[in-house]
Amino acid sequence: MPSKAKTPRVYSPRGEAVNEVIYVSVTATEKSAIKAFARTTTGDREITTSFASRSLIAVALALRARDVKTFERLHATLAEDASCS
C-alpha cells in the first residue's frame, strides 16, 4: 500500500505578532552554508536541526553578512549564556 506524504502545515501569526514575523526560504547552497556555520559554532560537532532552527541560523548568516559587529556581539552574548547554563 503506497504511503501518502502529509501536506505541510501553515502557521499564521495572530494579532500583534503579524508584524514581527520574518519568513526565510533556504536554497540548497544556503543549507550547506548553514550546516558549515552550525558546525563551526558547536565545536566541529555535527548537529541536526529543525526547519525553525535552520531558519534562525539563516537569519544569523544574513546578519553576519550585513552587520559584522552586531553579529559578533550577539554571538558572544549567546556563547556566554550557553557557557553559564
80 or 68, greater pLDDT: 68
User: Which pLDDT does position 32 carry in this prediction?
Assistant: 80
Q: Please check whether residue 42 lies inside any domain of the structure.
A: yes
| DSSP reduced 3-state for 32 | helix
- Which residue, 31, 32, 73, is CA-closest to 51? 31
User: Which pLDDT does position 74 carry in this prediction?
Assistant: 84
Q: Please check whether residue 33 lies inside any domain of the structure.
A: yes
User: Which pLDDT does position 78 carry in this prediction?
Assistant: 77
**pLDDT tens per residue, range 4-15:** 666 656 556 666
Rg of the Cα atoms in the chain: 16
| Residue span of the structural domain in which 42 resides | 24-84
> What domain count does the chain have?
1
Q: Please check whether residue 66 lies inside any domain of the structure.
A: yes
**pLDDT tens per residue, range 23-66:** 556 677 877 877 777 676 666 666 666 777 777 777 888 888 88
> DSSP H helical segments within 1-85, as ranges?
28-41, 51-66, 68-84
